[in-house]
Amino acid sequence: MNGAQALIRTLYNCGIEVCFTNPGTSEMHFVAALDDVPQVKGVLALFEGVVTGAADGYGRIAGKPAATLLHLGSGLGNGVANLHNAKRAFTPIVNIVGDHATYHTQYDPPLASDIASIARAVSGWTRSATNTVNLGNDVLDAVNASYGPPGTVASLILPADTSWNDGAEPLGGWSRPSPNFIEADAIDQAAKALASSRSNALLLGSNALTKANLVLAKRISALTGAKLLCETFPAKLERGGSIPGVERLGYLAEFMELQLSGVDNLIVIGAKAPVSFFAYPGKQSYLVPETCSLIEVVPPGLPTQQSLEALLDSINSSRSPENGLLGNPSKGPELPSPTQISGDLNAELFAQVIGATLPEGAIISDESNTSGLFVASATVNCPEHTVLTLTGGAIGQGLPVGVGAAMAAPDRPVLCLESDGSSMYTIQSLWTQAREGLNVTNIILNNGSYAVLNMELNRVGAQEPGPAAKRMLDISDPDINFVALGQSMGIPSVRVDRAEALVKEIGKAFSEPGPHLIETMVPSII
């Protein structure tokens, strides 16, 4: 058996069922071996940023890694931005990067490059598999490394001869890790802090934002008065329905300061101490107030459930089942009926439409940036749904994450809320959606602008922008026609500028199988 065959078989033995690919010559034995292990489905993308973003979306929803297949350092480079986001999301990914044959690199052929250095910048684990006989073990190590905890990008560099040489054996006997994490001292400290003041906050992140963990957190909150906060850009936030709500920290440091103001103890569970996304001249980077104690209970990406349970125990709550769900009494106003919404679209009206139409079980891949400002509050009362956000700030994530989420959960409706500027980094995602017939509704928010940068230009205190500067933030010359763009890659696409049309098109998109694109003309709020 050659290396590639054993590799894919071992991936399957470790529970991996999907490999997102954009292969080249050095990956041809891997590609050929896909037919030997049909349980691992190859999914082609036309650009590597789609491959890596899809693997991120898949991992967030499936809770297990997808594999990737990339072509040398340049293919990896194209995938860097979304690997960065995935690493920040603690998403398990087995990132396979083909390389020249081991003996070929010495001649410095045109595509040779320093793959390992690029890989290390976006991976928690990197290894070059230089020996076919050891390849099964390399794969096991990569899979285990991807699970962590914390979950991470495990990059396995695969020289072509390691793939094509014979003598490999697939490995089995793998079992999924079931990690625990608990730090008793930190829990004691948190419990004491919660007893000492009613002006506390729990800041939750990474895997603390599942329904089960939010129920635990909500009970702690109810017993102690502690405010429930979550990180600004959660990898996966379960919300709506009977899931207890949690207030997201704002993107703007000014807003975050308000949210943290007056907090005596900030108890951090699976998140990091709040910092400003960017630095601004003369403003604080570190946003925990000076008068606030920071108590770090679980580092980001490590398991949080045991700590939440222990914390609840230690503040003497009963954990009887009937005390389980507390509901979400502090939720927002009632959702409007879809038929009541009318008018020329703006950001508020857009959010109302989303709130009024979001189906049960939906997955929102949210890269709506400024145009989506009002969506979170407008969807508080929606049925249960999951939100995936821009964890690492590298834009171009929303559409590929939608691809991966739909692959992981074919029966759930996926809604990509996508800004025009951000969409263009990985617009090739639409093609893979069409090819695989994925149930994705892509809403492109077209305001002809990198709107967030118009705001940031002012916030960083740069001089008044002249025409040259403004032109770097404007993307309306020429206007991008997203309907033509969607159609060019085989996706039924329409443009709407009225709320009632958006209601109708969303309804249609959710009721028909396969992907749809709705270009939505929402003027910039900036």
Q: How far is the CB of 459 from a copy of itself (least distance, A)?
A: 8
Stretch of residues binding a copy of itself (CB under 8 A), selected from 10-18, 146-154, 236-244, 274-282? 274-282
Q: Is 471 in the site for a copy of itself (CB under 8 A)?
A: yes
**Separation CA 145–CA 92 (nearest Å):** 8
Q: What is the DSSP letter of 287?
A: -
Q: Measured from the CB atom, is 46 or 380 closer to a copy of itself? A: 46
Q: How far is the CB of 164 from a copy of itself (least distance, A)?
A: 5
Cα dihedral sign for 279, 281, 285, 287? negative
Stretch of residues binding a copy of itself (CB under 8 A), selected from 31-39, 180-188, 330-338, 368-376? 31-39
Contact with a copy of itself (CB under 8 A) among 195, 223, 258, 279: 279
Q: How far is the CB of 393 from a copy of itself (least distance, A)?
A: 4
Peptide bond connecting 478 to the previous residue in cis, omega within 30 degrees of 0: yes
Residue with tokens 């916030």: 459
Q: Is 104 in the site for a copy of itself (CB under 8 A)?
A: yes
Contact with a copy of itself (CB under 8 A) among 1, 12, 17, 121: 121
Q: How far is the CB of 266 from a copy of itself (least distance, A)?
A: 15
End-to-end CA distance of the chain: 59
225-264 residues near a copy of itself, rule: CB under 8 A: 233
Contact with a copy of itself (CB under 8 A) among 65, 73, 150, 338: 73
Q: How far is the CB of 100 from a copy of itself (least distance, A)?
A: 6
Q: At residue 45, what is the residue type?
A: A
Stretch of residues binding a copy of itself (CB under 8 A), selected from 77-85, 218-226, 347-355, 362-370? 77-85
Q: How far is the CB of 1 from a copy of itself (least distance, A)?
A: 11
User: Residues 361-390: x/- map of binding to a copy of itself (CB under 8 A)?
Assistant: ------------------------------
Q: Is 335 in the site for a copy of itself (CB under 8 A)?
A: no
Contact 501, 524 (CB under 8 A): no
Residue 53 DSSP SS3: helix
Q: At residue 211, what is the residue type?
A: K
Q: How far is the CB of 423 from a copy of itself (least distance, A)?
A: 9
Stretch of residues binding a copy of itself (CB under 8 A), selected from 204-212, 308-316, 404-412, 476-484? 476-484
Contact with a copy of itself (CB under 8 A) among 325, 453, 501, 526: 453
**Separation CA 218–CA 328 (nearest Å):** 9
Query: Residues of 64-74 as b/e, b for ≥16 C-beta within 10 angstroms?
Result: bbbbbbbbbbe
Contact with a copy of itself (CB under 8 A) among 42, 59, 124, 151: 42
**Separation CA 137–CA 121 (nearest Å):** 23
Contact with a copy of itself (CB under 8 A) among 195, 196, 488, 512: 488
| Alpha-carbon dihedral angle through residues 482, 487, 489, 492, given to the nearest 10 degrees | 100
Q: Is 168 in the site for a copy of itself (CB under 8 A)?
A: no
Q: Is 47 in the site for a copy of itself (CB under 8 A)?
A: yes
Q: Is 122 in the site for a copy of itself (CB under 8 A)?
A: yes
- The values of phi and psi at residue 367, to 5°, are -130, 45
Tell me how far the alpha carbon of residue 34 is from its chain's centroid. 27
User: How many residues lie near a copy of itself (CB under 8 A)?
Assistant: 107
Which residues, in sequence order, are bridge partners of residue 166?
A: 2
Contact with a copy of itself (CB under 8 A) among 51, 485, 506, 522: 485
Q: Measured from the CB atom, is 74 or 317 closer to a copy of itself? A: 74
Say how many residues make up the chain: 526
Q: Measured from the CB atom, is 188 or 474 closer to a copy of itself? A: 474
Q: Is 516 in the site for a copy of itself (CB under 8 A)?
A: no
Contact 423, 416 (CB under 8 A): no
Contact with a copy of itself (CB under 8 A) among 1, 32, 133, 212: 32
| Alpha-carbon dihedral angle through residues 11, 14, 15, 17, given to the nearest 10 degrees | 0
C-alpha distances (whole Å) from 157 to each of 70, 229, 355 are 9, 39, 44
Contact with a copy of itself (CB under 8 A) among 252, 380, 469, 526: 469
Per-position DSSP letters for 52-72, written without gaps between them: HHHHHHHHHHHSSPEEEEEEH
Per-position DSSP letters for 414-436, written without gaps between them: EEEEEEHHHHTTSTTHHHHHHHH
Q: Is 337 in the site for a copy of itself (CB under 8 A)?
A: no
Q: What is the largest CA-CA distance in the chain?
A: 69
Q: Tokens standing for 111? A: 């595509």
Contact with a copy of itself (CB under 8 A) among 10, 78, 206, 520: 78
Q: Is 29 in the site for a copy of itself (CB under 8 A)?
A: yes
- Three-state SS sequence of 27-40: HHHHHHHCCCCCCC
